[in-house]
Amino acid sequence: MFRILFLTPEIPGNTGNAIRLAAVTGAQLHLVEPLGFDFEDAKLRRAGLDYHDLAVVTVHPSLEAAWTALAPERVYAFTSDGDTPYTDISYRPGDVLLFGRESVGLPEAAKADPHVTARVRLPMLPSLRSLNLANSASIAIYEAWRQNGFAGAQL
């Protein structure tokens, strides 16, 4: 299935929501340290509810360690300055959907990483800075899953 990669997430509620998202879509959630919280955080547990045991969540000590573990063929970096609309991608199982931290997004080094296949954007009104991290991941993963016939889902 698809793999969601959060680079140094800061807000426990976003990661909790992403854990639930991973569980209900069959995606894997990968997190790159440092994290802005620990897994005992009440907000993380509340947002993920009882989905923690149903989701595949892996924490990596660095982005390089994540690349080694994931061995990605294609990585889509979601960023407000992306040049490809998210709906123009033909997603395939195994793709990595990369998102940055809530406060600053993806750093330039991550966007320029040779693993990145394309910089992707979600449409927004021009006067606004960004979407919520968990909401952005939800939009992206559901588009990827839709394109693949919602494989494994009860429709």
Within 10 Å of residue 125's Cβ, how many Cβ atoms? 5
Cis peptide before 123 (omega within 30 of 0): no
Residue 24 lies in a domain: yes
Residue 133 lies in a domain: yes
**Position 54 confidence tier, pLDDT thresholds 50, 70, 90:** confident
Residue 132 lies in a domain: yes
| pLDDT tens column, 83-94 | 999 999 999 999
Residue 74 clears pLDDT 90, i.e. is over it: yes
- DSSP per residue, 20-33: HHHHHHT-EEEEES
Residue 52's nearest CA partner among 69, 66, 39, 33 is 39
Residue 155 lies in a domain: no
Residue 153 lies in a domain: no
Residue 101's nearest CA partner among 11, 17, 41 is 11
What's the CA gap between 133 and 60, in Å, rounded?
Answer: 19
Instruction: Compute the average pLDDT of residues 118-131.
Output: 91
Task: Identify the residue with better confidence: 52 or 137.
Answer: 137
Residue range of the domain that includes 37: 3-147
pTM listed for this prediction: 0.94
Residue 62 lies in a domain: yes
Count up the domains in the chain and report the number. Answer: 1
CATH number where 121 lies:
3.40.1280.10
pLDDT at 45 (0 to 100):
63
Residue 152 lies in a domain: no
Average pLDDT over the chain, rounded to an integer: 92
Task: Identify the residue with better confidence: 147 or 16.
Answer: 147
Residue 154 lies in a domain: no
